Amino acid sequence: GTASTDPHQQDENMEALFDCILENIPAPIDNSEEPLQFQVALLDYNDYVGRIGIGRVFRGTMHVGQQVALMKLDGSVKQFRVTKIFGFSGLKRVEIQEAKAGDLVAVSGMEDINVGETVCPIEHQDALPVLHIDEPTLQMTFLVNNSPFAGREGKYVTARKIEERLRAQLQTDVSLRVDNTDSPDAWIVSG
């Protein structure tokens, strides 16, 4: 059919769609009483709290101060204490004390956390299947401007500044690779 431009008709169409969803899609099962499983899907970094793991609580409950196990990608297990949990209100992060199954949250307290790793109770170590990250498809060389016009306009950037910026980006971008070259002023960046 054709889409209506009448706002009243559009509201009725949306209500019908929402009613259909409520009638036919089952509500999620509340498994917040089961042992915790939280999987990291994104990373962030903050100078104040360090590395931040963003993901979903698949089951159970997590709270600030809790001692948990981090199931690493290499099969090892590290213990840490949850120092902060942030929930999301629109695009803003809001500090919260507890997260339950189904919540999307950001967690700090683990300086060595990576995408795909699972946070769970120390006494109930049960890792979720590892997330697959595609191999980089683009590769370019980043180097200090060595043209005859270098330094005449714009900001002069040293090799140290370029390397610092690339290393900082590695903290949050798991699909990025930075490799050294034969030159101390150039890096191969894949992403």
- Which domains does the chain carry? 37-121 (2.40.30.10), 139-190 (3.30.70.870)
Q: In the predicted model, is pLDDT for residue 86 greater than 90?
A: yes
DSSP the chain: -PPP--HHHHHHHHHHHHHHHHHHSPPPP--TTSPPEEEEEEEEEETTTEEEEEEEEEESEEETT-EEEEE-TTS-EEEEE--EEEEEETTEEEEESEEETT-EEEEES-TT--TT-EEEETTS--PPPPPP-PPP--EEEEE---STTTTSSS----HHHHHHHHHHHHTT-TT-EEEE-SSTTEEEEE-
Q: In the predicted model, is pLDDT for residue 95 greater than 90?
A: yes
Instruction: Give 125-182 pLDDT, tens digit per residue.
Output: 998 888 777 777 788 888 887 766 666 666 667 888 888 888 888 777 777 788 888 8
Tell me the pLDDT band of 56, cut-offs 50, 70 and 90: very high
Question: What confidence score (pLDDT) does residue 96 get?
Answer: 96
